[in-house]
Amino acid sequence: MSVCEMGVMPEIAQAVEEMDWLLPTDIQAESIPLILGGGDVLMAAETGSGKTGAFSIPVIQIVYETLKDQMEGKKGKATIKTGGAAFLSSSAIGSDGLCCQSREVKEWHGCRATRGVTKGKYYYEVSCHDQGLCRVGWSTMQASLDLGTDKFGFGFGGTGKKSHNKQFDSYGEEFTMHDTIGCYLDIDKGQIKFSKNGKDLGLAFEFPPHIRNQALFAACVLKNAELKFNFGEEDFKFPPKDGYIGLCKAPDGNVVKSQHTGNAQVVQTQNLPNAPKALIVEPSRELAEQTLNNVKQFKKYIDNPKLRELLIIGGVAARDQLSVLEHGVDIVVGTPGRLDDLVSTGKLNLSQVRFLVLDEADGLLLQGYSDFINRIHSQIPQITSDGKRLQVIVCSATLHSFDVKKLSEKIMHFPTWVDLKGEDSVPETVHHVVVIVNPKTDKLWERLGKNHIRTDEVHAKDNTRPGANTPEMWSEAIKILKGEYTVRAIKEHKMDQAIIFCRTKIDCDNMEQYFIQQGGEGAVVALDTAENMRACRSTHMRKHGREMWQNTEGNYKGTFLTRKKYGDVCTEPF
């Protein structure tokens, strides 16, 4: 199957062909159609298998199609029609503020109006757009959003029950899709009643004295349902009688603004320059740079409109990034630190994000960014201005991590698992050997004097002289011995080739220099010291690295110094 056969637009397919990608990889063949189809995807595959392309290609295409529709004046539906299927991960409010929707099948999600009334007789209508469960009615500012479950809320549900303070009594009739419910409030008499399709169902509640002095707000609670409200700005289907007026026509003196804004996301209809359509989060700047380069390659032939991308990472002047944001951006690739700064200060607006991509999610969680992820996700609307849902894409080295599973359950909605890696296993051809480094039993580090590997100088100002017996002395001794043991292992086993992983780039540099001192000059291939190490995942860098590996000659042929992807690796595996 070619890329075009998966529904990818020709402009992207042309760019892919120029990258010598003749056929999609397994992860791409599985994931691209799923993402283009609108679902959440949780994917795992080996490093270098094309995961970046698997999410970049469909994200670029859908962002382009969204911008194209906006440019041509096409408008999406105000809400999503899903035939009653669970679809959204939480409740959402339409762009006009009059449509409430929840596609959660297990939990109730509530909404309350932002303006309440203190005196008079008022009425509003609610139209049911599907067959989900709901309750509508009135509540005070103190009430729970789960309408009718405390003493401050009064609800009428589709099962033909009225509810107040967790007491559910039979009332009126059942209602469902296409029915219109009228909600009446007479504050002066302390009475609430409802109607169904114009039929008066009679008195439902007489609220107690402690309620009469409080403002009452229109409210609802939903489970896999969608409701459309009419507060009187449009003609009512069933106009009220007996002096009731539309809620929006209440005199200013009788209106109270809510002090609680809640946590439902109201989507923005106006395009903002600093509001991207896609946000891709990477655990390191190297990965972020690599992903951005892929985005640039894939969008090479996309025009009218052109896509604008931005890299947001630390170590780069923030004013340069802010300048790009002010001129407009569609796709943002970044690392948590700088992203958090810009979001918290309002410089980066998340109100129009359509895609949230967490690349190497296990690495993000390992680095302690769980709170950041949840905070970012909570600020992104679950439904866009054109009625499309937020898509969450999670890439991980393994899907069998408890933390990754927990995260997916929290921020994703019925994700499709694409696991081409399985649980970690060690091939039979690989032999593990652990070398114990104990400076208390091996005093070699004392006898080396200054003829040892240069360390990271973390303890440069500490007392690390032999005999000091300080924690810093033992730490420095371990670092010296690890370098010495590495050289010994190579000599002992007469290694012609070796791949050595170090914890930091500084350690890579120091190890390289130590090998050169030992007589290995010209034989050390240190990609991390000369080029972007993560870029070796791309095709041309893998080819370049392989050629360097094959063509290098010397005592330590092809020694390849690189950096562990993330995490603290306190010992060096040989």
- Model pLDDT for residues 539-559, shown as the tens digit of each residue: 444 455 555 545 554 434 334
Q: Would residue 369 count as lying in a domain?
A: yes
Residue 410 sits in the same domain as residue 538: no
**Strand spans (E) along 441-523:** 499-502
d(Cα 229, Cα 93) in Å, to the nearest integer? Answer: 11
CA dist 80 to 88, 303, 386, Å? 9, 29, 9
Residue 63 sits in the same domain as residue 119: no
Q: Would residue 435 count as lying in a domain?
A: no
3-state DSSP of 56-90 = HHHHHHHHHHHHHHHHCCCCCCCCCCCCCCCCCCC
Residue 219 sits in the same domain as residue 277: no
Task: Let me know: does 565 contact 398? Beta carbons within 8 Å.
Answer: no
Q: Would residue 574 count as lying in a domain?
A: no
Residues (pLDDT < 70) of the chain are: 1, 74-91, 259-270, 385-387, 422-427, 520-574
The predicted structure's pLDDT at residue 142: 84
Q: Would residue 81 count as lying in a domain?
A: no
Q: Would residue 436 count as lying in a domain?
A: no
**Strand spans (E) along 171-308:** 180-186, 191-196, 199-206, 217-223, 225-230, 245-246, 255-257, 278-281
Q: Would residue 350 count as lying in a domain?
A: yes
Type and span of the H or E element at 336: helix 336-344
Residues ≥6 apart with Cβ < 8 Å to 375: 340
Chain centroid to Cα 196, Å, comes to 42
Host domain of residue 225: 92-257
The predicted structure's pLDDT at residue 243: 94
Residue 242 sits in the same domain as residue 319: no
Q: Would residue 570 count as lying in a domain?
A: no
Residue 69 belongs to a domain with what CATH number? 3.40.50.300
- Answering whether pTM is above 0.85, one says no
Residue 100 sits in the same domain as residue 241: yes
What is the DSSP pairing of strand 217-223 with strand 133-139? antiparallel
67 phi and psi angles, rounded to 5 deg: -65, -35
Choose the final residue of a domain: 257, 292, 322: 257
Residue 96 belongs to a domain with what CATH number? 2.60.120.920
Give the number of other Cβ atoms within 10 Å of residue 491's Cβ: 12
Q: How many domains does the chain divide into?
A: 3
The predicted structure's pLDDT at residue 212: 78
Chain centroid to Cα 409, Å, comes to 12
d(Cα 68, Cα 306) in Å, to the nearest integer? Answer: 10
Residue 99 sits in the same domain as residue 244: yes
Residue 117 sits in the same domain as residue 220: yes
Residue 109 sits in the same domain as residue 191: yes
The predicted structure's pLDDT at residue 382: 77
**Helices (DSSP H) in 37-178: which residue ranges?**
51-71
Choose the final residue of a domain: 191, 224, 257: 257
Residue 63 sits in the same domain as residue 129: no
Residue 131 sits in the same domain as residue 240: yes
Residue 113 sits in the same domain as residue 216: yes
The predicted structure's pLDDT at residue 564: 36
Q: Would residue 82 count as lying in a domain?
A: no
DSSP 314: T
Residues forming beta bridges with residue 181, ordered by sequence position: 126, 196
The predicted structure's pLDDT at residue 53: 93
The predicted structure's pLDDT at residue 351: 87
Task: Let me know: does 220 contact 227? Beta carbons within 8 Å.
Answer: yes
pLDDT digits 0-9 by tens, 61-109: 999 999 988 887 765 544 333 332 233 345 678 777 888 888 777 788 8
The predicted structure's pLDDT at residue 1: 63
**Before 273, cis peptide (omega within 30)?**
no
Residue 246 sits in the same domain as residue 200: yes
Choose the final residue of a domain: 237, 257, 277: 257
The predicted structure's pLDDT at residue 358: 96
